[in-house]
Amino acid sequence: MYKTGKPYIKKILELIKNTHTQELRPPASSDGIGTKGFYHWQHKSFRNAVLDSLAMNLNDMAVLRARIYFLQDHIILPLDDERAILKIVENLVKECKKREIQIIAGETSIHDDFAGLEISIAVQGAYENHKGNKFQIGDSLIGIRSSGLHSNGFTKVREVFGNEFRLEFIEPTLIYYDKVLELNSKFDIHGMEHITGGAFARLKKFLNESDIEIDNPLKPHEIFYELYSKEVSDEEMYTTFNCGTGFVLSVSSDDSASIVSDLNNNRFFAGIIGRVVEGEGKVKIKSAFSKELVVL
């Protein structure tokens, strides 16, 4: 699933469209852990690396309202380290068995000029409720707290912190997939988005004659305040990092309190962070850092 905001993505989507033979294709996703893998390799945090690679795909499939049945993996390492490979696969198997996901293929590659670890995963499944993703005017926006940096913005993290290491750098991405699919079966959720690459700018694709207003953002983790203090601007913070909110739901105001309560009663911290209003396709955020308005 090509989903970043990079300028060549539209051209890629046009090219691959020629391979599509069905109007409704089986839902699928592919992603990896990227630059964060440098820290996982250095600190041998293989279980966390597996959770990161799974989360990037499971959370994106939750946005599609799709359950995953099949998975393929590609593990790239700088050394042919049997212990590391087995540890990665053991943890991958454990997480897949929890969710009845079949691992149908895999590959390991040794790149001796590679500085870190990459676990790239591709998944495929079936829609559970294929009704589209619509952020409707009048909806309340629910933010679900992240576990920290997740797996995006690590090029900027390395630029800012250099060779310094923090435990936050290997904290795994929170998996929302299981809970979001459960909520999807219980409530009428109009829209949702996983706040990953591109951060809050990702919400723009759901807007036409509407705006998103986020005036009560969830409190960011300390690592985000520290990044901001190192001359990272408000706009760059909100287009690079999740800033404490890893997943967003767009729901009727009638359902919002019940959904927030359900999440908070099940070990997820959530709150109403804003609303969808009439507008022209802007995402407007009251910065948790400067308290100034950020317009994306």
Question: Which residues face 193 on adjacent strands?
Answer: 248
What dotted CATH number matches 9-127? 3.30.1330.10
Residue range(s) in the chain whose domain bears CATH number 3.30.1330.10:
9-127
Whether 268 has a pLDDT exceeding 90, the answer reads yes
* CATH 3.90.650.10 corresponds to the domain 140-295: yes
Tell me the per-residue pLDDT of 136-146, one tens digit each, with 9 for 90 and over: 999 999 999 99
Tell me the per-residue pLDDT of 106-131, one tens digit each, with 9 for 90 and over: 999 999 988 899 999 999 999 987 77
Q: Give the type of residue at 45.
A: S
The two tokens of residue 231 are 């001359």
Q: Give the type of residue at 90.
A: E
Whether 12 has a pLDDT exceeding 60, the answer reads yes
Tell me the per-residue pLDDT of 222-256, one tens digit each, with 9 for 90 and over: 999 999 999 999 999 999 999 999 999 999 999 99
Q: Give the type of residue at 105.
A: A
Residue range(s) in the chain whose domain bears CATH number 3.90.650.10:
140-295
**How much is the pLDDT for 129?**
79
| Averaged pLDDT of the chain | 93
Do strands 270-278 and 140-145 pair parallel, antiparallel, or not at all (unpaired)?
Answer: antiparallel
Whether 3 has a pLDDT exceeding 70, the answer reads no
Smallest CA-to-CA distance from 136 within 277, 285, 259, 281 is with 277
